Amino acid sequence: MDKKTVTILLLVGLVVAGTAGGMVYVQSQRAKEERVRAEGLERQIDAAGKAEMELRAEAVQQAKRIEEAQRQTAAAEQQVAKAKAQLEALRNPPEDKPSCFDSDAKYGADALYVRGSRRVGGSTSTDHCRLGQLVEFSCIENPVGSGRFIADATLLDCPSGSRCVEGECLR
């Protein structure tokens, strides 16, 4: 082998060795970059896992706050219902006796032929005549069906053939 061939072979060998070395270097750089990228992804995964755990813990706390708010709302609704019932009881107190009593109410439409009286609390009013007309005192259930009564008075003309005498229509 001559010198020229040896030189060419040496040059080819150096080029091949340099190329191989360069490829090894590139491969090692790629491996290093992949490790760095993998470490970065692992850090992101760890951070995401921690964030997920924190969000789950916060969600549990929020669920507990919601449950407590629901309990408080239910308690407030009960208090409102109780207060409404108390207010209704104040507005419409239960009474053992009607607040108004009409002595001739049992006669219905014929009450104008009977002298009666109406008692409201401690006050009593008696049916009487005024300028030839009958002043008939009565009690009216208000509202109807409530069991609560209010006082009323009606000015009536006696039916034909009768006249008002001492708080009743005489036939």
State the pLDDT at residue 76.
93
User: What local confidence, expressed as pLDDT, does residue 95 receive?
Assistant: 56
In the chain, the number of structural domains is 2
CA 163 to CA 111: how far, in whole Å? 14
| Dihedrals phi, psi of 152, to nearest 5 degrees | -145, 160
User: Do residues 6 and 72 share a domain?
Assistant: yes
Q: Do both 150 and 106 map to the same domain?
A: yes
Q: Is the same domain home to 81 and 128?
A: no
Q: What is the pLDDT of residue 41?
A: 92
9 and 64 in one domain? yes
Of 67, 91, 115, which marks where a domain is finished?
91
Same domain, 157 and 124: yes
- The DSSP annotation for 47-79 comes to HHHHHHHHHHHHHHHHHHHHHHHHHHHHHHHHH
Segments of the chain with pLDDT less than 50: 96-97
Per the structure, the complete domain to which residue 5 belongs is given by 1-91
- pLDDT score, position 66: 94
Summarised one tens digit per residue, pLDDT across range 130-162 is: 999 999 999 988 888 877 788 999 999 999 999
pLDDT at residue 106, rounded to an integer: 92
pLDDT, position 94: 58
Are both 18 and 69 inside the same structural domain? yes
Clarify whether residues 3 and 73 are in a common domain. yes
